[in-house]
Amino acid sequence: MKEEIAKKVNTWLEGNFDVDTKTAVADLQKNNPDDLADSFYKNLEFGTGGLRGLMGVGTNRMNKYTVGMATQGYANYLKQCFPDAVSVAIAHDSRNNSRFFAETVANVFAANGVKVYLFEALRPTPELSFAIRHLKCQGGVVVTASHNPKEYNGYKAYWNDGSQLVPPHDKNVIKEVDKIASVDDVKWSGGESNISMLGKDMDDAYIKMVKSLSVYPEVIQKHKDLKIVYTPIHGTGITLLPQVLKEFGFDNVHIVKEQSEPDGNFPTVAYPNPEESEAMSYGLKLAEKLDADILSGTDPDADRIAIGVKDSNGKWVLMNGNQTAVLAFNYLMEARKTKGIAQPNDMVVTTIVTTPMIDAIAKGNGVNCYRVLTGFKWIAELIRQKEGKENYVIGGEESFGLMIGDQIRDKDGISAVALLCEMAAYEKEKGRSLYEKMIDLYVEYGFYKEHLISITKKGMDGQEQIAAMMEAYRNNPPKAINGSDVVQLLDYELQKETTHKQGKSGRLNYQNQMCCNLF
């Protein structure tokens, strides 16, 4: 074992850690040295979005101590930025240990004199973003690993506008977290009186906001019996989405029973990811059995969505992320115009990895469309820049995420499902399905086809392989791909654009890119 790793292991065996933790470290040391090395070979990185990793003991794992040290650093930075008073909101999903980690975060903040609003039980991530804005907090944390496998958990840090951290705050928080050298630097307890619970009142405020996003409530009333199948995939969506659909006016909603209970073991799926057909298989079976109008699903923290519809042959198919985004963007632009509520300064925002079909639709509707780097924090950042100048309507990207309206600043699966169901009712009123609407959009704006391939590299070796792959790709990029010459290379890390035929290089302007991008 490397000397640096052994030193970290000894610190945990001899330091101020609880007995169960020391026992677990000693057991790994005796029985699983490879796992021990992977658990300690580095510190779990507090990246620009927070923490995410396997749960377990060690510096490279999600546990009480890594979570507490991260929170201490974040608390220190918030107090520097807001010296008069600091308040934060904290939420968590259905994963194993999520409640424990959320309470740990709350206790550390509170011990540092921070006012804490802690949700009384699991809640969707978008409600956390809403709560930060609603309560005028300076920051927030949600404990979730999104759609990762059950062995993972995570920690997302938010700023006072309800978005995840962006420059300069992201890098500055990382610096403060890195200064926490020991668990002895953490204030673990002593401020319990600073913690207040959030529950029904916040739920009601959030639901009222989501309901205000409806464009055609009168259409829903005509089709309130629209047959909807919904699966929360053992996650937080069950806490709010059935009530939201009822508030919208839908009264024929069927929940997938096998996946209705929040459960961090995700017993019916390998990956609790609505992008995967396997995760939606129970919903597809129920939708087919009931001859439903639309199938919908959300991931464990209910910020990502998936929808299923019947194709022209009556076969159920899952729409991909780009198609889902296209339908939602088009609906809001088209319906707002038809209803006379569109504004001359309306804008929509998407990201560099998302279909350029959205740009074409926006142009066809006379709406400004902007592209930002991948991630909803960059959509939120652009909203900040344009506030008072342009009217934000919707943002989204191909990773099955949508952010509708500007009252939250992160992707929201709850409002997205409600709006997609309204869209299904709107198209039914016209005598067609969402699938047929998608075909109509292809006819009008051109056919766009995409396919996503995911490659996973795990652990210490995986990180080294990824770094080597990127270095080789950057230093020796391909001249052709599948027989086609590469005409342009876009390097987002270096912010550099190279056009091969002209032999020119320059600073990358990603907001204006309308091409397929290579990473």
Q: Does residue 114 sit in the same domain as residue 164?
A: yes
Rounded mean pLDDT, 406-427: 97
Task: Quote the number of domains for the chain.
Answer: 3
What is the per-residue pLDDT across 291-310, written as a single tens digit (0 to 9) for each?
999 999 999 999 999 999 99
Residue 312 is assigned to a structural domain of this protein: yes
Q: Give yes or no for a contact between 152 and 53, defined as CB atoms under 8 angstroms apart.
A: yes
Residue 3 is assigned to a structural domain of this protein: no
Q: Does residue 290 sit in the same domain as residue 328?
A: yes
Phi, psi dihedrals of residue 254, rounded to the nearest 5°: -120, 120
Q: Does residue 342 sit in the same domain as residue 465?
A: no
**pLDDT, position 516:** 35
Task: Convert 41-78 to b/e letters by CB count within 10 Å (16 or more is b).
Answer: beebebebbbbbbbbbbbbbbbbbbbbbbbbbbbbbbb
Q: Quick check: 441 pLDDT over 80?
A: yes
pLDDT > 90 fraction of the chain, expressed in percent and rounded: 83
Q: Does residue 477 sit in the same domain as residue 400?
A: no
Residue 430 is assigned to a structural domain of this protein: yes
Q: What is the CATH number of the domain that holds 253?
A: 3.40.120.10
Active site residue 146: yes
Residue 27 is assigned to a structural domain of this protein: no
pLDDT > 70 fraction of the chain, expressed in percent and rounded: 96
Rounded mean pLDDT, 20-29: 96
pTM over 0.85: yes
| Catalytic entry in 146, 163, 399, 433 | 146
Compute the residue count for the chain. Answer: 519
Question: Where a domain ends, among 401, 417, 445?
Answer: 445
Q: Does residue 376 sit in the same domain as residue 250?
A: yes
Q: Does residue 320 sit in the same domain as residue 423?
A: yes
Which run of H or of E encompasses 95? none
Q: Where does 101-171 show beta strands of DSSP type E?
A: 115-119, 139-143, 152-159
For residue 241, give its domain range.
206-214+221-445
Q: Does residue 248 sit in the same domain as residue 397?
A: yes
Q: Quick check: 431 pLDDT over 50?
A: yes
Q: Does residue 376 sit in the same domain as residue 318?
A: yes
Alpha-carbon separation of residue 296 from 229, 275, 285, 317 (angstroms): 6, 11, 12, 12
Q: Does residue 180 sit in the same domain as residue 254?
A: no
Q: Does residue 389 sit in the same domain as residue 426?
A: yes
**pLDDT, position 501:** 66
Residue 4 is assigned to a structural domain of this protein: no
Label residue 367 by pLDDT band (50, 70, 90).
very high
Q: Quick check: 515 pLDDT over 50?
A: no
Q: Quick check: 517 pLDDT over 70?
A: no
Residue 519 is assigned to a structural domain of this protein: no
Residue 35 is assigned to a structural domain of this protein: no
- 359-368 long-range Cβ contacts below 8 angstroms, 24+ apart: 359/514, 360/445, 360/446, 361/326, 361/329, 361/330, 361/333, 361/441, 361/445, 362/329, 362/333, 364/444, 364/445, 365/333, 365/334, 365/337, 367/333, 367/342, 367/393
Q: Does residue 188 sit in the same domain as residue 229?
A: no
Q: Does residue 400 sit in the same domain as residue 502?
A: no
What is the per-residue pLDDT across 227-275, written as a single tens digit (0 to 9) for each?
999 999 999 999 999 999 999 999 999 999 999 999 999 999 999 999 8
Q: Quick check: 514 pLDDT over 50?
A: no
Residue 9 is assigned to a structural domain of this protein: no
Rounded mean pLDDT, 476-500: 84
